[in-house]
Chains A and B, each alone.
Chain A
Amino acid sequence: MAEAVSDKIKNYKTAPFDARFPNTNQTRNCFQNYLDFHRCNKALSAKGQEVSPCEWYQKVYKSLCPMSWVSKWDEQIENGSFPGKI
């Protein structure tokens, strides 16, 4: 599974279709992948595993999200004022 994931990360072109968000409004897709990246980092480092599979979520949210949102959320995480549950 780790080899398949790193291959997928290497061959990444753009965010794939996500059945959870089938409509035109992809806002929640962006936010969900941002959350999943941070949750994945937190979960895998708590288990002591490598966090490299989480890079998939980072690639997806970087494809989907406006950069201003990403920088705002990153600032909020540093401040401790991020509203999402991680």
Chain B
Amino acid sequence: MSSFFGVVAKQIKSHPALIPLFIFISGGATMSVLALTRAALKNPDVSWDHKNNPEPWNQMKPNQQYKLLAVNMDYSKLKKDRPDF
């Protein structure tokens, strides 16, 4: 890995115009990694522990929002409306 950063540092020194490229590429890679970890850890459709938490979507609150951007949906007004059993 150190050779990778050495190569990159050499390239930046010789072609400083490439700096915005590195910024955007690393930003994009970071965002995709963050999105994947969010999906793996926070997505209610994903169950890591089959024995203790087999249906994680049933642990959600009735006004809990998973989507990052919800258009035309006021989550604060939602109430629980299913009978208990």
Contacts and interface: CB of A to CB of B under 8 A. Distances in A.
Q: Do A and B come from one complex?
A: yes
Interface of A: 1, 5, 8, 16-17, 19-23, 28, 32, 36, 39-40, 43-44, 53-54, 56-57, 85
Interface of B: 44-45, 54, 57-58, 60-67, 70, 73, 75, 78, 81-85
19 contacts: A19-B61, A19-B64, A19-B66, A19-B75, A20-B44, A20-B57, A20-B58, A21-B57, A22-B65, A22-B70, A28-B45, A40-B83, A53-B83, A53-B84, A53-B85, A54-B85, A56-B82, A56-B83, A85-B54
Question: Chain A contact residues: over half helix, strand or loop, or mixed?
Answer: helix
A85 B51 CA distance: 13
Contacts of A28: 45, 57
Given A19-B75, A22-B70, A43 B65 contact: no
Nearest to B59: A20
Nearest to A37: B85
